[in-house]
Chains A and B, each alone.
Chain A
Amino acid sequence: EIVLTQSPGTLSLSPGERATLSCRASQSISSSYLAWYQQKPGQAPRLLIYGASSRATGIPDRFSGSESGTDFTLTISRLEPEDFAVFYCQQYGSSPYTFGQGTKLEIK
């Protein structure tokens, strides 16, 4: 099973700042098979990024994803008030399909 470790656990930033969230895989994930989701309180997760760097339909271009080996990064270039939430990464390189433990992005 591929274990995904997200860091930091909590990130405190202000609107307008840049956010960098990390997701590290315990082993190589084939073909960039990693997705990112955003979850707001009381809501279901929403797909942001798939294939490590492709934005889902309707996702603003301030959200971007990248990878370097087993390290994956979600970057929000300029935070808007509605961006504050919990973010999860998910790998689909192999079953079982696993999620990271989440990073909470909170307003400073």
Chain B
Amino acid sequence: QLHLQESGPGLVKPSETLSLTCTVPGGSITSRSYYWGWIRQPPGKGLEWIGSIYYSGTTYYNPSLKDRVTISVDTSKNQFSLKLSSVTAADTAVYYCARHGRIASGRLNWFDPWGQGTLVTVSS
């Protein structure tokens, strides 16, 4: 089973940029069958897809966050990263990275597996 691992600061000040990294073991980040995604979950609430990236750098973002989100990939480190700018308390959440399936037509599908998640709190 693939084990994804999120890392990054657990506390970010309002108006600053949240930065997280997900490490994908074994070089599988360059698989042509998958994208790599970020999903978040505010405490006690539901799940929200943030965006996903292919090893080539192609990205798809949720329009609700698109103006503040940048997802990048570093295949040499088997990592992909999330940056969310101008954060507010509403961005406090557990942030998950996950493998995002891709079928031959290019359509993306489900998320499996997920990392354990990391709580990011936005507070001064």
Contact = CB atoms under 8 A, between A and B. Distances in A.
Categorize the interface residue count of chain B.
20 to 34
A63 interface: no
Q: Is the interface of A mostly helix, strand, loop or mixed?
A: loop
Interface string A1-41: 10000000000000000000000000000000101010000
B58 interface: no
A100 interface: yes
Q: Is the interface of B mostly helix, strand, loop or mixed?
A: strand
Nearest to B50: A96
A48 to B, nearest CB: 10
Q: 5 nearest interchain CB pairs? A: A44-B114, A47-B112, A35-B110, A99-B47, A96-B62
Given A45-B111, A90-B111, A92-B110, 9 more contacts: A35-B111, A44-B114, A46-B113, A50-B109, A90-B110, A95-B62, A98-B49, A99-B46, A101-B46
